[in-house]
Amino acid sequence: MADFRQYAPATERNRQPILDVLKRVLPREGTVLEISSGTGEHITFFANQISYLRWLPSEPDALGRQSIQAWGEALPSDNLQLPPLNLNVSAQPWPVEAASPAPVSLAKPITAIVNINMIHIAPWEMCEHLIAGAERVLPADGVLYLYGPYKREGKHTAPSNEAFDQMLQSRDSQWGIRDLEAVSAIAQQHSFTCTEIIDMPANNLSVIFQRTV
């Protein structure tokens, strides 16, 4: 039988440090929507470790959704049951919104959104779409968790990040490591407050936003 699981080398390195943060900052109840679940390795690991929350994966790439489904079958958990959504942050409404023609039915409402390593491998407007969508979906006090490399006040935090940024832009001129202050400014425009910034391994950051109204 074919195994459709894909593997991202960074996942095995960063999943435990991310999990440690998520256990502390995520709400204690509800559904966590992961935007851009990629291979599905992260969400299957988190769902098995944080059983008091339900988990909902999403991924615009069809092969990615196939991998997420395969990982969910290989590492099943009762709180990760729904198939991955075909969700592109720029397409409105999202399938979890009431305005969607066929909104996804959830046993528990979405109280948090997790997004790992996306905004630096997408055009800048995708970051804006992500945060605008989070404002539409999350309730007051809902959590938006972002993980990845960032610049601080326009400067790279490490030579390795600068080299990584140059590599990204050589692949696509619209990609690149984002300035955290610019991301926070967009978040503030969409009713989010940055409550915590946590240094992570390999010069990455966990950035936690909370919806204020």
Whole-prediction pTM value?
Answer: 0.97
Q: Which residue has the higher pLDDT, 105 or 144?
A: 144
> pLDDT value at position 102?
82
Q: What average pLDDT does the segment 85-96 reach?
A: 96
Give residue 170's region: left, alpha or beta (phi > 0; psi -120 to 50).
alpha
Q: What average pLDDT does the segment 27-43 reach?
A: 97
> pLDDT value at position 12?
86
SS3 26: coil
> pLDDT value at position 1?
62
CATH class of 9-211: alpha beta
Going from N- to C-terminal start, the domains of the chain cover: 9-211
The confidence band for 10, taking pLDDT boundaries of 50, 70 and 90, is confident
The confidence band for 88, taking pLDDT boundaries of 50, 70 and 90, is very high
> pLDDT value at position 65?
97
Cα torsion 2, 78, 31, 179: sign: negative
Please tell me the distance from the alpha carbon of residue 179 to that of residue 45, in angstroms, as a whole number: 29
Q: What average pLDDT does the segment 115-142 reach?
A: 98
> pLDDT value at position 164?
97
CA distances from 180 to 44, 46, 104, 107 (A): 28, 25, 32, 34
**Beta pairing class for 150-151 and 204-211:** unpaired
Q: What average pLDDT does the segment 36-64 reach?
A: 97
Give the relative orientation of helices 180-189 and 124-137 as an angle to the nearest 10 degrees: 40
Residue 51 identity (one-letter amino acid): S
Share of the chain above pLDDT 90, in %: 92
Q: What average pLDDT does the segment 158-177 reach?
A: 97
Residues 4 and 70 sit within 8 Å (Cβ to Cβ): yes
